[in-house]
């Protein structure tokens, strides 16, 4: 029997596999690259013949042009700051993230539910990863100091893995409430796995991931109050819902001594940055901000000044500090144009089209921006692509026409 698979179907399958693979990003193929790296490469190769069909530059220039300008500025500053210690001027991971962001945004223009389906497969990946963690498969557990007992998945960072599980939970919650993919009653099967995902989040003992989890109902409440004509009623009812939704989370936290110990931990006796916490790391980088505040140090200059200060090359684990150190206040301003336009797009999707997922994904962006390396993290850029891509196809159509377009699609 001969099976005919269209180019479009292959492109969609590659997109869905890329979303799915992000939950297994730490699984490495013999040192040649991660699962998600190869999945992204396959997606870009399969999508390349359709670039002309997918590309709608006029529509997304307001989002894409600041990214291009920021990337060019980063390369320029890096080149003029090349030194005997470091000649780094090009960040391949960041470049590929921008490329995939642009490709996904235009893919959404061709297939309006492509990114929505993509996040469904990301949620499936989160469920499988959390289940494997629950079963003890692929589990790495630290036995050092206050990191003792913290679980990770195939050597992934506990903060990174924990935030991805929170993102998976956010997607499941949105599907349960709105069912944009028309799964019907079958979608309630996803709810059975939420306790396993919650358990996985807490077992990472990541304070950042737990904060991200707590921000889900708070973000919903904030945007609900913002769009409501009856602010007091929206605030009161929202607080009640937040309180009810956080009760089970609080119960699980109180049962996890490792999480409680990390929340209470304030000692600065250990020189390990992971132990000291992000705040003390940021204090160290604050002293470096004024090396070149306006123009930045570039990638090459950053390597040199951090090595001189710390004795090794260290990331600030905060995108805003990182951008200032790389590209100065000029680069930060350019990036903020893109960043705040994306936040505004998520608000408009919630306000005008009652879409829940775009605002529930914002805690992921904030968590990665404040505590990790958002420029090079794939999950951040698929979130950006989903928000921007959905906004660009919905805004011109209006709610009624968009729904008709989805039904015909």
- Degrees, nearest 5: CA angle 41-162-347: 80
Contacts for 52 with CB less than 8 Å, ≥ 6 apart: none
Q: Where are the alpha helices (DSSP H) in 277-397?
A: 278-286, 298-310, 319-353, 357-360, 362-371, 378-394
Calpha distance 373→375 (Å, rounded): 6
- 378-407: b (≥16 Cβ within 10 Å) or e: bbbbbbbbbbbbbbbbbeeeeeeebeeebe
How far apart are the C-alpha atoms of 369 and 388, rounded to whole Å?
18
Distance between the two ends of the chain, CA-based, in angstroms?
Answer: 28
Could you say which DSSP state residue 89 is in?
-
pLDDT in tens, the chain (409 residues): 444 468 888 999 999 999 999 998 877 776 677 888 899 999 999 988 877 665 655 667 788 899 999 999 999 999 999 998 999 999 999 999 999 999 999 888 888 899 999 999 999 999 999 999 888 887 776 655 555 567 777 778 888 999 999 999 999 999 999 988 999 999 999 999 999 999 899 888 888 888 899 889 888 888 888 887 777 777 877 788 777 877 777 776 766 666 666 666 644 444 444 445 567 778 888 888 888 899 999 999 999 988 888 888 888 888 999 999 999 999 999 999 999 999 999 999 999 999 999 999 999 999 999 888 888 899 999 999 999 999 988 876 554 444 554 455 4
- What is the pLDDT at residue 394? 84
Write down the pLDDT at residue 1: 40
pLDDT for 119: 96
What is the residue extent of each domain of the chain? 7-408
Phi and psi at 141, nearest 5°, equal: -125, 125
Token pair, residue 361, equals 């994904």
Distance, in Å, from the CA atom of 379 to the CA atom of 119, rounded to the nearest integer, reads: 10
CA distances for 252 relative to 195, 200, 248, angstroms: 10, 11, 6
Return the sign of the alpha-carbon dihedral for residues 217, 239, 190, 9: negative
């Amino acid at each position: 029997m001969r099976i005919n698979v269209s180019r479009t179907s292959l492109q969609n399958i590659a997109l869905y596999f890329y979303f799915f693979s992000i939950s297994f990003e730490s699984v490495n193929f013999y040192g040649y690259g991660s699962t998600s790296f190869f999945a992204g490469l396959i997606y870009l190769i399969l999508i390349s013949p359709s670039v002309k069909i997918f590309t709608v530059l006029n529509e997304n220039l307001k989002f894409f042009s600041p990214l291009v300008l920021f990337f060019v500025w980063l390369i320029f500053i890096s080149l003029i700051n090349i030194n005997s210690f470091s000649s780094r001027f090009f960040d391949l991971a960041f470049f590929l993230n921008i490329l995939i962001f642009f490709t996904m945004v235009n893919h959404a223009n061709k297939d309006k539910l492509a990114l929505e389906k993509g996040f469904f497969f990301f949620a499936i990946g989160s469920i499988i990863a959390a289940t494997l963690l629950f079963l003890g498969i692929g589990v790495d557990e630290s036995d050092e100091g206050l990191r003792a007992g913290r679980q990770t998945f195939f050597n992934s960072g506990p903060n990174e893995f924990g935030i991805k599980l929170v993102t998976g939970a956010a997607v499941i919650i949105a599907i349960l409430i709105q069912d944009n993919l028309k799964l019907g009653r079958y979608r309630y099967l996803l709810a059975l796995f939420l306790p396993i995902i919650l358990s996985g989040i807490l077992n990472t003992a990541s304070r950042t991931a737990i904060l991200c989890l707590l921000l889900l109902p708070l973000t919903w409440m904030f945007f609900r109050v913002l769009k409501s004509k009856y602010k007091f009623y929206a605030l009161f009812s929202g607080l009640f819902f937040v309180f009810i939704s956080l009760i089970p989370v609080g119960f699980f936290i109180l049962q996890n001594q490792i999480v409680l110990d990390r929340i209470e931990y304030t000692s600065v006796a250990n020189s390990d940055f992971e132990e000291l916490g992000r705040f003390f790391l940021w204090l160290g980088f604050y002293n470096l901000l004024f090396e070149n505040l306006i123009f930045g140090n570039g990638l090459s200059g950053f390597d040199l000044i951090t090595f001189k200060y710390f004795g090794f090359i260290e990331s600030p684990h905060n995108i805003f500090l990182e951008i200032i150190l790389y590209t100065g206040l000029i680069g930060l301003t350019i990036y903020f144009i893109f960043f705040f336009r994306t936040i505004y797009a998520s608000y408009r999707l919630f306000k005008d089209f009652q879409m829940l997922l775009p605002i529930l994904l914002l805690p992921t962006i904030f968590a990665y921006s404040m505590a990790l390396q958002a420029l090079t993290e794939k999950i951040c850029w698929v979130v950006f692509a989903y928000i921007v891509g959905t906004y660009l196809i919905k805004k011109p159509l209006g709610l009624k026409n968009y729904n008709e377009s989805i039904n015909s699609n």
